[in-house]
């Protein structure tokens, strides 16, 4: 799949060339999990797996979308009314249109053909890529004058308000704002960000796809958010300056442990420690200290598994297999949880061997063929010439 594929599919469906073709990448997150909606830091990057959108204006105000990989077509009514669709995938495009309209942005009709190679349900944010890619296309075609950050926020609102998943800002941010060969640290409270070169000769990032689809993620995700909010509501009584877990120090949390439900304490402890780990990871990256970075990744995994409780046996097995492999510096569950991928920092010289032995162990234990994706860090959403 690439730009040419969506362009020719567009031409055959709409009998004209697209006005624009856009690449909207998936993302990894090096460290900083479940911190975005707690006002903390994340350290994601866009990757060399993407969704391509070929798009053109329509004079009649309708929306016509063709999902190439699913071979499924959606056509709105003749005035472009936007409402929740049976075709779940169409909601990702309609959601951003709905939110943009709330802001009074003038959007006319639209034809889109899209497809890509971001594996679905693997935690690589194919939906965020599609949402922000759609908003990016609209901004270009209808000259809406939006900044990249405006696009990110509209895409997140589409997911929150239309699709109904209360996700944070990380996925859309990573898809839109990333630069090649860098990770980007976002302060999810102030929305300030800084690029960190990921210059790691001799080391590779590889994802191991557990093949377990994270179906639980929506409900459990929203529950985790609520537990964090409960923690903030209690801790606020002791310090009125607290408005998110970002404002909570480990010492303050410990001091008021007895006032929190044990489960809420565990969730808060993980988040507070994870926010601090992102800063340690950035400092390690600046020193090219990959050993420390790797250790921090393992610590994140332990917190996600034992305190935040969003891992599953398959993912734990992959992380333990990695931990026992001397060529692996760090590994952890990545993304929302309950399946998806692990991210592994591996010595390149031993990469093939790591993939081979992990695949064999995984197949033996779970009877699942492991998919592995070595990733390159790429630029964010862009127009393809």
Residues with active-site annotation: 171
Residues numbered 167-196 forming contacts with ligand GLA, rule: CB under 6 A: 167-168, 170-171
Q: Does 37 bind ligand GLA (CB under 6 A)?
A: yes
Interface of this chain with ligand GLA, residues 321 to 360, rule: CB under 6 A: 335-336
Binders of ligand GLA in range 42-71 (CB under 6 A): none
CB nearer to ligand GLA: pick between 93 and 167: 167
Residue identified by tokens 């200290």 is 289
**Cβ contact 177:149 at 8 Å:** yes
The Cα 86–Cα 73 span in angstroms is 12
Distance from C-alpha of 301 to C-alpha of 21, rounded to nearest angstrom: 38
d(CA 380, CA 184): 11
Using the minimum distance from each CB to ligand GLA, give the nearer residue, 221 or 354. 221
131 makes contact with ligand GLA (CB under 6 A)? no
Minimum CB–partner distance for residue 85 and ligand GLA (Å):
21
- Backbone angles phi and psi of 328, in degrees to 5: -100, 125
The minimum distance between CB 352 and ligand GLA, in angstroms, equals 29
| CB of 71 vs ligand GLA, minimal distance in Å | 27
Q: How far is CA 272 from the centre of its chain?
A: 20
What's the closest the beta carbon of residue 360 comes to ligand GLA, in angstroms? 29
Q: Can you tell me which residue has the tokens 């032995």?
A: 357
Nearer to ligand GLA, 155 or 167 (CB): 167
Q: CA 300, CA 296: separation in Å to the nearest integer?
A: 6
34 binds ligand GLA (CB under 6 A): yes
The whole-angstrom separation of Cα 34 and Cα 48 is: 23
Query: Interacting stretch for ligand GLA, rule CB under 6 A, among 163-171, 197-205, 207-215, 300-308?
Result: 163-171
* Three-state secondary structure call for residue 340: coil
Of 16-24, 166-174, 233-241, 292-300, the segment contacting ligand GLA by CB under 6 A is 166-174
SS3 of 180, please?
A: coil
> How many residues contact ligand GLA, by CB under 6 A?
10
Q: Which residue has the tokens 């409780």?
A: 309
Question: According to the binding rule CB under 6 A, does residue 36 interact with ligand GLA?
Answer: yes
Give the H or E element holding residue 21.
strand 20-29
Q: Tell me the window of 32-40, 107-115, 132-140, 231-239 that interacts with ligand GLA (CB under 6 A).
A: 32-40
> What's the half-sphere exposure (Cβ side, CA atoms, 13 Å) at 261?
11
Give the nearest distance from C-beta 349 to ligand GLA in angstroms.
31
Q: At what angle do helices 88-102 and 126-141 cross, to 10 degrees?
A: 50
* Number of Cβ within a 10 Å radius of residue 54: 30
Rounded to whole angstroms, the Cα distance separating 7 from 12 reads 9
With respect to ligand GLA, which residue has the nearer C-beta, 41 or 354?
A: 41
Q: Within 132-161, which residues bind ligand GLA (CB under 6 A)?
A: none
Stretch that binds ligand GLA, among 12-20, 33-41, 365-373, 377-385 (CB under 6 A): 33-41
- Interacting residues with ligand GLA (CB under 6 A): 33-34, 36-37, 167-168, 170-171, 335-336
């Amino acid at each position: 799949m690439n730009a040419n594929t969506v362009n020719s599919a567009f031409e055959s469906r709409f009998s004209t060339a697209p006005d624009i073709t856009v690449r909207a990448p998936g993302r990894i997150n090096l460290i900083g999990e479940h911190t975005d909606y707690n006002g903390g830091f994340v350290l994601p990057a866009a990757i060399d797996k993407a969704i391509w959108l070929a798009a053109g204006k329509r004079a009649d105000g309708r929306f016509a979308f063709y999902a190439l990989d699913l071979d499924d077509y959606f056509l709105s009514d003749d005035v472009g009314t936007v409402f929740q669709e049976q075709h779940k995938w169409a909601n990702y495009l309609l959601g951003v249109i709905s939110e943009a309209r709330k802001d009074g942005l003038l959007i006319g009709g639209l034809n889109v053909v899209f497809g890509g190679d971001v594996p679905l349900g693997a935690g690589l944010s194919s939906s965020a890529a599609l949402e922000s890619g759609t908003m990016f296309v609209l901004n270009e075609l209808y000259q809406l004058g939006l900044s990249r950050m405006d696009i990110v926020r509209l895409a997140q609102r589409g997911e929150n308000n239309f699709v109904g998943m209360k996700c944070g800002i990380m996925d859309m941010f990573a898809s839109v704002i990333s630069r090649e060969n860098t990770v980007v640290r976002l302060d999810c409270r102030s929305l300030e960000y800084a690029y960190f070169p990921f210059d790691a000769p001799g080391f590779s990032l590889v994802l191991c796809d557990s093949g377990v689809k994270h179906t639980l993620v929506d409900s459990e995700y929203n529950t985790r958010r609520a537990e964090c909010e409960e923690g903030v509501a209690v801790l606020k009584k002791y310090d009125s300056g607290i408005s998110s877990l970002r404002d909570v120090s480990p010492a303050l949390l410990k001091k008021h442990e007895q006032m929190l439900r044990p489960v809420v304490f565990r969730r808060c402890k993980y988040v507070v420690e994870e926010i601090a780990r992102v800063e340690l990871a950035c400092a390690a990256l600046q020193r090219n200290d990959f050993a420390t970075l790797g250790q921090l990744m393992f610590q994140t995994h332990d917190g996600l598994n034992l305190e935040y409780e969003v891992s599953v046996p398959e993912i734990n097995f992959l992380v333990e297999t990695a931990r026992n492999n001397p060529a692996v510096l760090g590994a952890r569950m990545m993304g929302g949880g309950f399946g998806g991928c692990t991210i592994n920092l591996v010595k390149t010289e031993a990469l093939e061997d790591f993939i081979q032995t992990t695949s064999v162990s995984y197949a033996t234990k779970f009877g699942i063929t492991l998919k592995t994706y070595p990733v390159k860090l790429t630029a964010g959403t862009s127009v393809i010439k």
